[in-house]
């Protein structure tokens, strides 16, 4: 029986170049299939990732990489998202609460919790514009209001649940992935990652 779930666990490659993302994606899928963790078969059932309609179906050894995996309840597919995108965790495309300058370390508050529950439009707009520019051209910059240094948007540091990257893997309806698997997955990617969860 397949568990119908709208929760996902995501691993985002923070460093891969857009031109290399497809090759990295194929390499990781080959590895997962070789270990029996995924099949080559794809499905769109119980999967709601943006930008892709289908993901890879869990293989016979899928429970090896999940904590408390119930083998009688198959998880959903694993979506592979190739291309420059902003990846949101939580329960939707909510702007990150803050951004930290890579030059001086100052933090720019975007959502002033608990006084506010939405992004300050004037503060978020330069970041949003830079993200849009990066998505379309590969280049986008923001000037820090504290030190006035302009830095690439991909160099800014974000809180948990928000990441910019050209490659992401969404595990839909899976039990929590083991720390050992996430570490092994990260090592095989060879790059920094962001690891977060979310809900459709």
Q: Given this model, what pLDDT does residue 70 score?
A: 60
Task: Render pLDDT for 103-124 as a digit per residue (tens, 0 to 9).
Answer: 999 999 999 988 989 999 999 9
Q: Given this model, what pLDDT does residue 193 score?
A: 97
b/e map 86-104, b = 16+ CB within 10 Å: bbbbeeeeebbbbbebebe
3-state secondary structure of 154: helix
- The list of the chain residues with pLDDT below 50 reads 1-5
Q: Given this model, what pLDDT does residue 73 score?
A: 78
What are the residues whose beta carbons fall under 8 Å from the beta carbon of 190, sequence distance 6 or more?
A: none
Q: Given this model, what pLDDT does residue 130 score?
A: 98
Q: Given this model, what pLDDT does residue 2 score?
A: 41
């Amino acid at each position: 029986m397949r568990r119908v779930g709208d929760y996902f666990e995501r691993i985002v490659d923070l460093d891969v170049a857009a031109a290399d993302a497809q090759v990295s994606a194929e390499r990781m899928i080959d590895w997962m299939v070789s270990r029996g963790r995924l099949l080559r078969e794809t499905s769109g059932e119980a999967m709601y990732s943006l930008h892709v309609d289908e993901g890879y179906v869990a293989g016979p050894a899928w429970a090896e990489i999940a904590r408390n995996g119930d083998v009688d309840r198959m998880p959903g597919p694993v979506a592979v998202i190739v291309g420059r995108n902003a990846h949101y965790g939580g329960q939707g495309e909510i702007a990150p609460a803050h951004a930290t300058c890579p030059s001086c370390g100052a933090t720019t508050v975007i959502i002033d919790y608990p006084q506010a529950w939405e992004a300050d439009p004037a503060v978020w707009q330069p970041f949003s514009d830079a993200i849009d520019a990066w998505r379309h051209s590969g280049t986008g910059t923001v000037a820090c209001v504290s030190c006035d240094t302009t830095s690439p948007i991909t160099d800014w540091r974000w809180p948990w649940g928000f990441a910019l990257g050209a490659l992401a893997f969404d595990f839909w309806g899976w039990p929590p992935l083991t720390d050992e698997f996430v570490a092994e997955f990260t090592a095989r990617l060879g790059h920094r990652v962001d690891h977060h969860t979310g809900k459709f």
